[in-house]
Structures are given as C-alpha cells and as structure tokens.
Structure 1
Amino acid sequence: MARRSAPEVNAGSMADIAFLLLIFFLVTTTIDTDRGISRKLPPPLDETVEPPILKQKNIFVVELNKNNDLLVEEAPMKLEDLRAAAVAFLDNGGGSGDEACSYCKGEKSPSSSDNPEKAVISLRNNRETSYGTYIAVQNELVAAYTELRNRESERLYGKSFSQMESELKDVNYSGSKDRLKDQIKQIQLMFPEKLSEAEPKK
C-alpha cells in the first residue's frame, strides 16, 4: 500500500504577517521614560581655579544616615519640617553692606545665611540610605527654592514662577517668550539653586 504524502502548508505569507504585526506593535506601544532629578553637573575640574571660600554660616548641612534618620545642622528633624527650615535659611538675609538682601523676609540673624546668592545647601547621605527617603529629601529642598521663587515672582510679575515655566513650554503661549525668559532668569538669580551633594559615606 502506497504511503500518502503529507500536504504542504503554504508559508509564503507568514513573513508578511509577522512584519505587519511588528509594525503594528511598534506604532501602538508607548514606552515610559524614567524621570530623574534635574541637576546640572559641575564643569570639569580645573586645577588652576581656586574653589570659592564659603563661610560656615552660609552652608546648611542636611544629613541622612543608614537608618534614614534626618539630621539638619547636626540636630534631628522630621521630613515635614525640612522645607520650612530650608526656606528660613535661604531667606534669612543676615548680610550687611554689599552682602545685604533687599528682598529677603527672614529673621536677618547674623548666625545664618547672608543672602540667597551665597547660601548653599549641602546634602550628605549614607550608601545604605533608602532611595525613597533620598528622593523625599531632595523634593523638600527643591520645594523650598520653588516656594521662594513663587513668592518673588508673584510680587514682581503677578504670577507664580511655576506658571511662568509652564507658559514657556506652552507652544500656544501668545506673549513674548523672550520677555518671559528674562523674567524667569531674574527670579533664578534672586534665588539660585545651590544644592551640593557630597560623596556618600560608607
């Protein structure tokens, strides 16, 4: 008895179908991008330039240990109090003469920062600090700058700094973008974000 040959499957169009499916998934799939912390890296180290001399009172030291405990100026502090403490430091305005701050509304304590241009926030953390706590502390410190910038922007231009930044990104904004950029730069110069991150401790 003769053996029957198995019928062949026509696979000629399988490559076309696979290619169409590939294009379909490439077009319809959205890829989430990770959002990071906005930081400007320092320029390459130049051995000929001396680092600026900072007064100790112009440095606001924030530390995170391996147990996620927050220490501000070597004293324990709760995370929810950090923003107010940073605002008080940045807005102190304790300088006199050329270092005086005309727009600061702080206590003008001589033991705290002279003016926002000289004030530096130094963040130090341990290698075993949890990422969530680290990000939460970063958020509070950036929020302190944003709060002060919003206040001065409202006073000078009648709208918040955050609103001005969103208007700058808006393609349908009807006003002058050059003027808006100048206003944003002016507010940034009043409260420059000087956030220093030291090498993590082991």
Structure 2
Amino acid sequence: MGRRATPEVNAGSMADIAFLLLIFFLVTTTIEKDKGIARQLPPKQEKQETPPPIKEKNIFIISINRSNDMLADNELMEVEDLRQAAIEFLDNGGDGSCTYCKGRKNPASSDNPDKAVITVKNDRESTYSMYIQVQNELVGAYNFLRDRESQRLYGWKFTEVNKAIDEGSYKGNIEKAKDRLKEIQKLFPMKLSEADTKQ
C-alpha cells in the first residue's frame, strides 16, 4: 500500500490573524500614568541673587532623622499631628494683614500665608515612605485651607473642582473655574522648600 501524503495546513491567514490580534490589544489596552509629587522647580538663574530675608517666625522647619523621628517647629511630633500643626502655622495671620485667616493671630508665629514657608530636612537614611507621608500631610494642610476658602467664596471645594477639571469631567465654564482656582491658590500659595540632606 502506498504512503499517504500528509495534508498541508494553510497558514496564509495566520499572519493576518496575528496582526489583527496585535492591533486589538494595542487599541484596548490602557496605559497607566505614573503619579508623583507635583512640584515645580524654580527656573535656572544665570547670576546668583541673594534671596530676600525671611523672618525666622515665618519658617516652619520639619526635620526627619535616620530613625524616622520627626521634629516639627522644635517639637517632637507624630506624622498624624503634622497636618494640624501646618494648618495652624499657615492660617495664623500674626501681623493682621490676612483678613481671611482664622488662626490665633499669634505674633510669634507666621505673619500671613504669603510669607509662610515650610521647609523639610531629611536625613539621607530616612525612609522614602516617611518622606511621602510628610509630603502628603503638608499638601493635605494646603488643600484643607484652600477647600475652606473656596467653599466660603464660591460654594465648592477646591480639590473636587481641580480633580474634575484634570479628569475632564467638569461641567461648567472651565476657564472661569480655572481663574477661581488660581485666586484660591494665591490666598494660600504652596511654599514648600527642601533643605539639603544631612550626611
């Protein structure tokens, strides 16, 4: 009996199918964006200018050592208490020029939100998670104050409208909302500085 020839498989359309699957997965796959800390670096300056003098009472210093112990405004503090301490510092209104500040008006603390600076000093051996927790609490303090003022002035929360605009789900006049967001940011400008890390 003669040998039977093995039937050939028509693979001509395999390349087309693979190409279609590749296009399908490229179109339907979502690529997640990495989220980081939103910080804008200052522009590069050609000549060194002497920085304007800042009163010591307008600086809120946060120091973190290698054991992740935090010293905030010369007091040993837990991360959970940092947000409230930052709010009290920013909202103090010590010189009386801030009409919207609701703080204690302590003359020994910050004059007004425009002059208040928060500086963070990290030890090189402190953990990244501690750094992120501190940054989150400080941003949370600014957001709390901005939410309060936007609620008072416009009847909506700064963080909610800002998020809705970023996601493209804001229903309303976007340009007007962006202008109002900028006005709120001017009331409580985010002045965070990072000191050189210690050896």
TM-score per shorter chain, which class? 0.7 to 0.9
Counterpart residue number, 2:171: 173
Counterpart residue number, 2:22: 22
3-state SS of the aligned residue for 2:119? Answer: strand
Aligned-pair distance for 1:157? Answer: 1.5
Instruction: Determine whether 1:132 maps to 2:129.
Output: yes
When normalised by structure 2's length, the TM-score is 0.87
Among 99, 104, 115, which residue is 1:118 paired with?
115
Aligned-pair distance for 1:9? Answer: 5.8
Q: Deviations over 1:144-172 (max 9, x none)?
A: 00111111111111222123324544455
Counterpart residue number, 1:58: 58
Does structure 1 retain, via aligned residues, the 8 Å contact 2:162–2:181?
Answer: yes
Aligned-pair distance for 1:75? Answer: 2.1
Counterpart residue number, 1:182: 179
Which residues of structure 1 form unaligned runs of 5+? none
Counterpart residue number, 1:93: 93
Deviates more, 1:5-14 or 1:21-30: 5-14
* Separation in 2, partners of 1:119, 1:172: 32
* Separation in 2, partners of 1:158, 1:152: 9
Q: Provide the aligned C-alpha RMSD in A.
A: 2.3
Count of residues in correspondence between the two structures? 197
Deviates more, 1:139-148 or 1:151-160: 151-160
Q: Percent identity?
A: 57
When normalised by structure 1's length, the TM-score is 0.86
Aligned-pair distance for 1:77? Answer: 0.2
Equivalent positions of 1:70-85 (< 5 A) are 70-85=70-85
* Separation in 2, partners of 1:105, 1:65: 32
3-state SS of the aligned residue for 1:76? Answer: strand
3-state SS of the aligned residue for 1:142? Answer: helix
Aligned-pair distance for 1:135? Answer: 0.9
The 3 A distance-change label for structure 1 pair 7 and 177 is closer
Does structure 1 retain, via aligned residues, the 8 Å contact 2:161–2:170?
Answer: no
The 3 A distance-change label for structure 1 pair 106 and 200 is same
Counterpart residue number, 2:46: 46
Aligned-pair distance for 1:177? Answer: 2.7
* Separation in 2, partners of 1:151, 1:22: 50
Q: Deviations over 1:98-141 (max 9, x none)?
A: xx211111111111100000000001112222221111111100
